[in-house]
Homo-oligomer: A and B are copies of this chain.
């Protein structure tokens, strides 16, 4: 099978690595907007060659879109026009509602499968691609009733070949849940980094002390702004909903400390410990 990967960064590149290794793809074509990235993707063996989007689409069984969600929004209808009759387009975007809406009335809507693999690291670009990124992770598939059965089946086969488990949702539901388990984590990390970096200016080098706990909480603050800027734009309402709840809870926690109600903070922390139920290890 010939697969085109549009955007051979962390997600697209890691996908290419595994689809080649497990034999799912016989030929991998990359589409990159900078020649630096194209050269890197080829040198790293992520793809066999790079070419223009239209030329790549015309000869592909599957086109995977793994670019930030704003350019994706403009690219998706175009790619649906460019693929062969039996071609399939799968996107890897972190938002789903706007994307599905963008092709709602597209005559070839059936050739598109809306997906979000719940996997990633804080790094980006072809150099960030790693094997097994998707292993045992969830692949969210949205609005699958709008995909042609053979297109959906192919997408499911692709994700299963990576040992992913399928989760089905409607796009609006996906965007709410993604705000809670992914988008909010990134914002709390970014803001933590900003706060601590600000303090460092006035207090000198306090990072001599930084240890595992701080590192893990602030890790996502290294994530690429380009990707996240677009997610905020496409998922504004849900993100605001979460952020408001978060700020409210944080303010309550602050007030309890301020008022010396430490036993009350104890109860809240016991409640928070219930996260073990969801993330046992």
Contacts and interface: CB of A to CB of B under 8 A. Distances in A.
Interface of A: 118-122, 137-138, 140, 167, 176-178, 180-182, 184-200, 203, 206-223, 225-226, 228-230, 232-233, 236, 239-240, 242-247, 249-251, 253-254, 257-258, 260, 262-263, 265-276, 278-279
A257 B203 CA distance: 30
Contacts of A221: 269, 272-273, 275
Contacts of A258: 236, 240
A217 B196 contact: no
A275 B184 contact: no
Given A120-B211, A257-B239, A192 B246 contact: yes
Given A194-B249, A226-B266, A240-B258, A218 B275 contact: yes
A186 B212 CA distance: 12
A203 B199 CA distance: 37
Chain A interface, >50% SS class? helix
A246 B240 contact: no
20 contacts: A120-B212, A140-B209, A176-B206, A181-B211, A182-B209, A182-B214, A190-B253, A190-B272, A195-B245, A197-B274, A198-B245, A210-B278, A216-B216, A218-B279, A221-B269, A221-B272, A222-B273, A222-B275, A225-B270, A236-B257
Nearest to A253: B191
Given A188-B188, A211-B137, A254 B265 contact: no
Nearest to A198: B245
Given A194-B268, A275-B221, A209 B247 contact: no
A100 to B, nearest CB: 17
Contacts of A181: 196, 206-207, 209-211, 214
Contacts of A270: 225
Contact of A250 (B178, B250, B272): B250
Given A187-B253, A214-B279, 13 more contacts: A119-B211, A121-B212, A122-B213, A180-B196, A180-B206, A181-B196, A182-B213, A193-B272, A218-B275, A222-B279, A232-B257, A232-B265, A244-B254
